[in-house]
Chain A
């Protein structure tokens, strides 16, 4: 029997005692990860947390999507040294770079060990002697980029300041004419230190950090944060609160998917869908505003439930608007699929094969467009999704078209879901009391945000405060997918591929 099968299991949105997490030897710990991934499990989170003596403990959260279970393991690093697993298990690539940066762990044998966010260590080693200056006091974007040599090879550097109103990130292309040999993505410009700020929480500020982890995934991240707090406080939410949360989550998905389809259309210069979807995105955001007064859903969700209730008039108004916008979205989006000039740009561009997607551990629409049926609403349901299911939409071509069409499939499912939930809104109160957090526990929350799986893990100390709070935004898993998608493609198709992934910079940079 393999080691990973003996790890303690929990389901998303629950907490377990830290004593019940086995502390494995480092070799066993790594063996468990490799075997689990070989068996089709995924690395959902991998992070370090120092104890009182300054020794770093590693925690891993593995997901068995088919069994709907999460498994947690830990190990203790002696002397902050860690031999890299990346060459045996690609999924841990960014986690290991993050570990080296956050905890000043000396990761040896990593094929691509470079700063990830150019952040100062959250948990600096007391004996920082062995650590290079670049890791202690890093400057964003300053690192050795991968280079391709040759007479006709040229390098194109894009960003961190971009022409459009988007977030900052640096892209370094190695090209041969119009063809991309290699893309290296260097982020970190949006690093704000959220994980550090959440330490010793929760306090009055914590929820605001969660809301702004990634502005367009406010509902997703806030729900995950609240689920962690509720799991640790053993708080039972009312059915009405869970329904309103689910409605808000799907509204967020609608607004972003519709906006992205419009933006993809704009990138290929197809005006009708770009204009209509741009407007419709605003209509869906306004529906969230009708729920709570904020177009992005800030202030709607709080530990214990939600802060705004829906009365019969509001439900009626939302249903009418949902119906109207749903029909208009159908008209606008079907123009896209019927325009052969658009299909010529979408099909067979930026292909991520199923194998690559699985190896990199992609999540969300990017994974589902490559034929991987993974959706946290289905695999690791929490909140209302334990009782009501949304069919998982999957497409298999892995190209820009697949990522676009998948969004359209999900838009339709979300429209149906919101309509059904609004018509059968359970009665009751919208929030319940939240007590103190259980001391010495670990809790995991998994929420399928519009971009994919949002994972929050919290460790509490003996006084019930956050000893470590780990956030994994879906973008963290998916950025390497973008780099692979554009490989051997044309550089003029990069913006379109980028838009089809539509990843978050601040969600990655934290």
Chain B
């Protein structure tokens, strides 16, 4: 029964919660500069509006362009079903699912960049090139972090390795490793969800964009799908990060669900604060930041060898 509740709760959170996180980020940013800001639920309204709209499709595009938003949503939701959002195991878990998780995220990115190239726009080509270049640096950071968790838990499934991660004693070498990969995962989270200092989700300047520019040609439900997909990505990476830092105990299921929800809101708040307090990096220093994330994960791994 508890498993059933856990899985249902997980499915509901995964599908309904993500736009709220974007709303919280925007509200935080507004608060920092003394504005009232859009309602916390604004992203839901936006998605609803986009779904009702018609789609404009460039005549130069092929089926890839149409498929990309759908693949984005499908791959990221599927990946989300492998990450435990609370203290119970994820709906899908099997030995080696961490590899599938990482490459489902890559699949979504692959199709989005392909669709960007499909439009033939020079802006979107540049965006695709940047996205893939930076992904080359964020992927090793993620994998090194996974390696630490695998080593600590001895498991090859996300559900198995993320939950015991919470039992590490504070002050041990393993806890130091977790702190290091938490830093690395936060940078990966910012890069993967195109937030400042890597990308600026609010800019209107195509020449400076990374993710936004790739979806410039999307409209209506297709644009909605891309926005939704990136918000789901934000949720699952935030949940991933929280499992590394929060002291969850499977015995206290109710408390831990609450703790995770508060944690997700807090991560959104922290992202909002980062965006309010610092400027974007110059494009050529983004790899430097991501390499630093790789090093953090790498040193975490060295600690527990």
Contact = CB atoms under 8 A, between A and B. Distances in A.
Nearest to A165: B204
Given A164-B205, A339-B278, 6 more contacts: A163-B204, A178-B284, A267-B205, A269-B202, A271-B275, A272-B33
Given A272-B33, A272-B276, A493 B204 contact: no
B126 interface: yes
A270 B283 contact: no
Contact of A341 (B35, B197, B203, B204): B197
Given A156-B126, A275-B35, A341-B197, A494 B207 contact: yes
A269 B200 CA distance: 6
Interface in A148-166: 154-158, 163-164
Contacts of B123: 156
Given A269-B275, A271-B275, A275-B33, A493 B282 contact: yes
A33 B284 CA distance: 44
A339 B275 CA distance: 13
A156 B122 contact: yes
Nearest to B197: A341
A349 B281 CA distance: 13
4 closest Cβ pairs, A-B complex: A275-B33, A268-B279, A270-B279, A269-B280
B206 interface: yes
B32 A272 contact: yes
Contacts of B126: 156, 178, 491
Interface in B113-137: 122-123, 125-126, 129
Interface of B: 29, 32-35, 122-123, 125-126, 129, 196-197, 200, 202-208, 275-285
Interface string A336-356: 000101101100010000000
A164 to B, nearest CB: 5
A156 B129 CA distance: 14
Contacts of A269: 196-197, 200, 202-203, 275, 279-280
A342 B279 contact: yes
A156 to B, nearest CB: 5
B122 A490 contact: no
A491 B35 CA distance: 32
B205 A495 contact: yes
A276 B205 CA distance: 21
10 contacts: A164-B204, A164-B205, A178-B126, A269-B196, A269-B279, A271-B32, A271-B33, A272-B32, A344-B281, A345-B280
A270 B196 CA distance: 9
A159 to B, nearest CB: 10
A492 interface: yes
Contacts of A349: 282
Given A272-B32, A276-B33, A158 B206 contact: yes
Nearest to A270: B279
A156 B126 CA distance: 9
Contacts of B282: 344-345, 349, 490, 492-493
Contact of A268 (B125, B276, B280): B280
A263 B197 CA distance: 18
A9 to B, nearest CB: 46
B286 to A, nearest CB: 10
Nearest to B210: A492
Contact of B283 (A157, A178, A275, A344): A178
Contact of A163 (B33, B34, B206): B206
B213 to A, nearest CB: 10
Contacts of B207: 156, 158, 491-492, 494-495
Contacts of A493: 282-283
Nearest to B209: A492
A490 B284 CA distance: 8
Nearest to B205: A495
B34 A275 contact: yes
Interface string A491-505: 111111000000000
A432 B3 CA distance: 89
Interface string A304-333: 000000000000000000000000000000
Contacts of B206: 158, 163
A345 B279 contact: yes
A316 to B, nearest CB: 28
Given A341-B197, A344-B282, A492-B283, A271 B29 contact: yes
Contacts of A155: 122
Contacts of B280: 268-269, 341, 345
Nearest to A279: B34
Contacts of B202: 269
B203 to A, nearest CB: 7
Interface in A463-510: 490-496
A271 B28 CA distance: 12
A157 B279 contact: no
A164 B205 CA distance: 7
B27 to A, nearest CB: 13
Residue among A163, A269, A270, A275 with max Cβ neighbours from chain B (10 Å):
A269
Contacts of A342: 279
A275 B276 CA distance: 11
Contacts of B200: 269
Contact of A492 (B32, B35, B196, B208): B208
A338 B275 CA distance: 16
A267 B206 CA distance: 11
